[in-house]
Amino acid sequence: MTVLKHLFAPIMIGHMEVKNRFVMPPMGINFGVDEEGYVTDQLKEYFVARAKGGTGMLIVGGAAVHPTGLDLPKLPRIWADEHIPAFREMTGAVHQYDAKFGIQLLHGGRQCYHGKGVAPSPLPAQGVVKGTPRELTIPEIGEIIKAFGDSARRSEESGFDFVEIHAAHGYLVTEFLALNSNKREDAYGGSFENRIRFLLEIFRDIKKKTSPDFPIGVRINGDDYIKDGWVIEDAKRIAPILEKEGAAYLHITAGIYGSYPPGITIPSMYAKQGVFIHLAEEIKKVVSIPVIGVGRIKNPEHADRIIKEGRADMVSMGRAHLADPELANKARSGNLADIRPCLGCCLGCVDNVFQLEAATCVMNPEVNREYLFKGQKKVSAPKKILVVGAGPSGLAVSRMAAIRGHKVIVCEEKGFIGGMIRLASVPPGRSELMDLVKYYQRELNKLNVEIRLNVNLDEKLIDSINPDAVVLSTGSLPEIPQLEGLFDTEMDVHTVLDVLERDSILGDKVIVLGGNQPGLEVADYLSENGREVVVLNRDRHYATEMAGNDRTYLRERLKRVNVRLYKNVSIKQFLPTGAIFSCKDNEVKIEGFGDIVISEGMRSIRKIVDLFKDREVETHLIGDAKSPRTLLDSQSEADELGRSI
């Protein structure tokens, strides 16, 4: 059994003792509040699940301190005393599990979703929010400082154990700190001392309005990763100042929206695990208060090692807590293999929020629905369920159906489980997708799900199984476009699957037809293997099915390697070793290529459906077999079916 003694050592945050070093950091999840900003049972049960799971310290993400600073439509609001009772009910529920519960105080500044932001200077935000913010006046600055202090007083009255000032990720406090967003020429701009004044005055107002021993933490960037932004030297300069002011801890993160990799605020699976820890390590050199590190830390052994090596005192594991609320308890018991892993895919936790939808998780569709699923009841009349296909949808529905007590038999025509995930994990930076397959393999073994590989399903086999219900999860295959002359060239034609299965031998110069996610990933894979690649994308956008964070990383990767990208192209003619196409009103001719790889969408595999047309058996079609979809959608759908069948 793995012993994680550093991760489970208690720690003092000011006068507050925390039972372990696990931190569930503040995250913008865009759910759990009503139309007036009062927290609901949805948010309460979300946090209760993680507190019950053994985490020592949890922080509510981005509570707005002022009406001008609401970052997302469904973030908590704490700018009025009327919000206190609902918060008090939530803190009481969390405290039943010996967790320390804090709240992050936020003003969104120019990065508010409504596009009517305010800022130290009228400079547009880079990245996700459009529009030019209005410059704050001196009286307005004073009003917002007071709002932070009043919100901290409400937080303490609500039963929170501490507050955290959000001074990172490009929100209002960050905008005052950084030269590229603060062009003021008064007491709040110009020199370093003037640019940090807003944060210090917020801190002092909070200190004045809360109890002497009430901990105040600060989340601050170690580096903005953007031109003329805040850098580690700035962070090391302000850290001792904040300690002297009375900060109980510093929470060191990085990036703002629009910054370049690896500084995207929520790093994708392309970023190395622990990508920002070196920044926390630098801050630890200049302060004696606890320092929290963050940045794609997904497994407890890694977290324990970070603490053991003195790189941080506590470790924030945000998306890991979404994927598995029982993360800390499983780590304490030594059952590390049972932890449901975060893939770093950013589909449910990031992209959903950027689309102003509720956060969820590919690996854990219960996220945002904890209040609906308080324990999974066993069925009173178990069924024998035949699942055809052991791709991600088939594996997910099998797990949930088995948890509920059904007898599940999975039949897969290949000699392995995982379906397309095995191929999707081949391109550079995508190997962690296999964590999903490994997790389901262990889960289904524990649940005594029978998996039959290398099976060709036929009438005789179906009769022998005699299922009460059937789930068809047979996946999809590449769609071949009907383009004149495509197969009349000297070039060899392949699909993305041919390439990733390593069944095709390609030459040195390759055309990839299609700019969707598989197309770009295969281009990356081919380039890494020494090929010269041109991507011809007939759509206006690249990889729209991909999470924005992942897409940004991948686009940056392709810029650095031998890949030429063309979008919104119209192919005029295929040549013996190339093509003529139009792009941006220009005609482009490329020649000397030996191969074309097709990546223009997928089509469902439904040939097995005919075997069940005349049978009086409950039959369900899910995943790509129903219609090609994202991994997030397929996992959610499969989980839902597993709960209802």
Pairwise CA distance, residues 112 & 567, whole Å:
31
Q: Is residue 371 part of a domain?
A: no
Q: How confident is the model at residue 31 (pLDDT cuts 50, 70, 90)?
A: very high
Helix (H/G/I), strand (E/B), else coil: 305: helix
Residues 396 and 515 both lie in one domain: no
Name residue, tokens 């501490």. 162
Residues 464 and 540 both lie in one domain: no
Element (H, E) at 465: helix 459-465
CB within 8 Å of 287: residues ≥ 6 apart: 239, 240, 242, 243, 250
Pairwise CA distance, residues 498 & 341, whole Å:
29
Active site residues: 171
DSSP codes of every residue in 435-446: HHHHHHHHHHHH
Q: Is residue 373 part of a domain?
A: no
Q: How far is CA 32 from the centre of its chain?
A: 18
Rounded to 5°, the CA angle 343-345-347 comes to 130
Residues 347 and 335 both lie in one domain: yes
Residues 403 and 510 both lie in one domain: no
Residues 296 and 150 both lie in one domain: yes
> What CATH number corresponds to the domain at position 555?
3.50.50.60
CB within 8 Å of 445: residues ≥ 6 apart: none
Q: Is residue 339 part of a domain?
A: yes
Asked if the peptide bond before residue 467 counts as cis, ω within 30 degrees of 0, the response is no
| pLDDT at res. 131 | 87
pLDDT digits (tens, 9 = 90+) for 275-298: 999 999 999 999 999 999 999 999
Length of the chain: 645
Helix (H/G/I), strand (E/B), else coil: 309: coil
Pairwise CA distance, residues 557 & 549, whole Å:
13
Pairwise CA distance, residues 574 & 190, whole Å:
58
Q: Is residue 4 part of a domain?
A: no
Region at 285 (left for phi over 0; alpha for psi -120 to 50; beta for the rest): alpha
Instruction: Tell me which DSSP letter residue 104 carries.
Output: E
Q: Which amino acid is at 634?
A: S
Residues 455 and 499 both lie in one domain: no
Q: Is residue 520 part of a domain?
A: yes
| pLDDT at res. 561 | 81
- End-to-end C-alpha distance for the chain, whole angstroms: 37
Percent pLDDT > 70 in the chain is 99
pLDDT digits (tens, 9 = 90+) for 316-354: 999 999 999 999 999 999 999 999 999 999 999 999 999
pLDDT digits (tens, 9 = 90+) for 463-499: 999 999 999 999 999 999 999 999 999 999 999 999 9
Task: Indicate whether 556 pLDDT > 90.
Answer: no
Pairwise CA distance, residues 89 & 86, whole Å:
5
Closest by CA position to 588, among listed 535, 526, 532, 524 = 535
Closest by CA position to 621, among listed 611, 206, 269, 518 = 611
| pLDDT at res. 504 | 75
Q: Is residue 369 part of a domain?
A: no
Burial class (CB in 10 A: 0-12, 13-18, 19+), 207: middle
> What CATH number corresponds to the domain at position 127?
3.20.20.70
Residues 189 and 295 both lie in one domain: yes
pLDDT digits (tens, 9 = 90+) for 59-92: 999 999 999 999 888 999 999 999 999 999 999 9
Helix (H/G/I), strand (E/B), else coil: 452: strand
Instruction: Tell me which DSSP letter residue 238 carries.
Output: H
Which range marks the domain in which residue 424 is found? 384-477+604-627
Residues 567 and 616 both lie in one domain: no
C-alpha distance from residue 561 to each of 555, 565, 582 (Å): 10, 11, 24
Contact 175, 181 (CB under 8 A): yes
Pairwise CA distance, residues 199 & 227, whole Å:
22
Residues 553 and 537 both lie in one domain: yes
Contact 337, 299 (CB under 8 A): no
Write a three-state SS string for 192-207. HHHHCHHHHHHHHHHH
> What CATH number corresponds to the domain at position 422?
3.40.50.720
How many domains does the chain divide into? 3
Please say which residue of 339, 354, 369 terminates a domain. 354
Q: Is residue 379 part of a domain?
A: no
| pLDDT at res. 294 | 98
Helix (H/G/I), strand (E/B), else coil: 417: coil
Burial class (CB in 10 A: 0-12, 13-18, 19+), 200: middle
Instruction: Tell me which DSSP letter residue 39 carries.
Output: B
Pairwise CA distance, residues 136 & 259, whole Å:
24
Q: Is residue 317 part of a domain?
A: yes
Side-chain-side CA neighbours of 190 within 13 Å: the count stands at 6
Q: Rounded to 5, what percent of the chain is helix, strand, coil?
A: 35, 20, 45
Residue 279, token pair as written in the block: 């920044």
Task: Indicate whether 126 pLDDT > 90.
Answer: no
Residues 55 and 38 both lie in one domain: yes
Closest by CA position to 200, among listed 232, 169, 225, 237 = 237
Residues 587 and 618 both lie in one domain: no
Residues 463 and 490 both lie in one domain: no
pLDDT digits (tens, 9 = 90+) for 230-272: 999 999 999 999 999 999 999 999 999 888 777 689 999 999 9
Q: How confident is the model at residue 1 (pLDDT cuts 50, 70, 90)?
A: low
